[in-house]
Structure 1
Amino acid sequence: MIDTVEAANSGYRYMPGVTQYSCGVGALPGFTLQRVRFSRVVPLKQGFAMIADIVGKAGRPLTSFAACELRSPAPFTEQGFKDFNEIYIKTLIDWGVMKDGVNPIARSNVCPKLDPPSEPGFHAFTFAVAADDAPESFVVAGSGESAEGKGDYRDNTVCLGDVSPPAMLAKAKWVLDEMERRMSAFSGSWSQTTAVQLYTVRDVYALLESELGRRGVLRNGVTWHFNRPPVVDLEYEMDCRRVHLERVVEV
């Protein structure tokens, strides 16, 4: 099993990833992960304030913030993505969540093609709450078809610039393998997931049965968001979770 690290004063452990985010998080014994979705996308600054309020009212420290799902207006250039991440991680440092350049937060950040937000913001977030005898819970961070932490995205992207059916199959296989690798850090599998999310604007209908179905991804269905991954030229992204407490906050 892949090694994970316990995040200080958090209630969860994480699978190390890159500076911008971890590969996933899993609740520690005596805790469970709770997901909160906003009824509409909340701009970044306002969203952080709302998250702090919700977490505080639950009697939990800011360091229990474990994962988030972001929405952005359009895919970033590589430099634009780096610039955005500098803004995002500043709050994590201020909260004491991120220390010495190590980021425990699992994250997805995708771009709706229809009705995009005017600026980056929060769609949902997850934090750890105390819960005796709770079943295991985890959140796997979003991944597109590019290896992270190995230089720029373009040089590490599967079938860059190709959206033909064989290329989309190759992209999907790469992402599905990565989802399975990340879940394995928490002894997880598709049979344990409570939700799976797919992000693409390409036609991948043929893959639903032949690849996702064959692997057992569709056990509880899949939520297909008509969204692009966050970096120009990426075409296919997924994330997944095993979370038993979820609620929606009206904004």
Structure 2
Amino acid sequence: MPPRKTAATASTEPPRRSSRIVSQPKEEAKAAPKAAPKAAKKRPAAAETEDAAAPEAAAKKAKSGKSDAEEDAPEDESDGKLAKIDIGDVLPSVTLKNEKDEDVDVAGLAAEKGVVFFLVPKADTPGCTTQACAFRDIYPDFTSVNYDVYCLSADKPAAQTKWQTKKELPYALISDPKRVLITALGAGEGGKTKRSHFIFEKGGKLLERKMPVKAADSASLALEFIKGL
């Protein structure tokens, strides 16, 4: 039998460690230093420009009186074009120049009288001169039945004035360089003007069109039609 350990002997022995692991309380996480506030991202220059332009755009829109939908709507691609003019249709309102380089509202030409438009391919060329002089020679016969005569071509006013003076043409000449009215009348295909004439009654309704027509016959045929009304 082993001798009993005395109290002194027991006190010199190291204390026995428990095999059971005691979970130690985790050390409280040290408070992380607060992150410095992020600097505001610099806005792109384009955005700043848009913001600067916004008040100005709003002012312009308010001045125009247009809604957002109207402002954003695409432009009408048909601007500068006229619908085709058929028998029975009314002469459209379009502004062209006369030989004096003055603005002329075409629809207004037929407000008080009937009108005859005769179309020529090019001023001061042989065939066109024949046609123009034929209308010149019987011009009083048209005015006597309350009809005015106009020569319509794609020539510039300066060229028309020169031709008018040279041949003593008593009627006005209408310049349609973009062939807006000429094309609407059906005489402007292929970038050229077809020799023809068109008769509109007072008020602007189209009564007669002759296309093609011979240069020497255009004036007499137009007058014959009017007298037959």
Superposed pair shares fold, TM > 0.5: no
Higher relative contact order, chain-length normalized (CA < 8 Å, sep 6+):
1
Structure showing greater radius of gyration is: 2
Give me the TM-score of the superposition, normalised by structure 2: 0.31
Structure with greater helix share of residues: 2
Give me the TM-score of the superposition, normalised by structure 1: 0.29
Structure with greater strand share of residues: 1
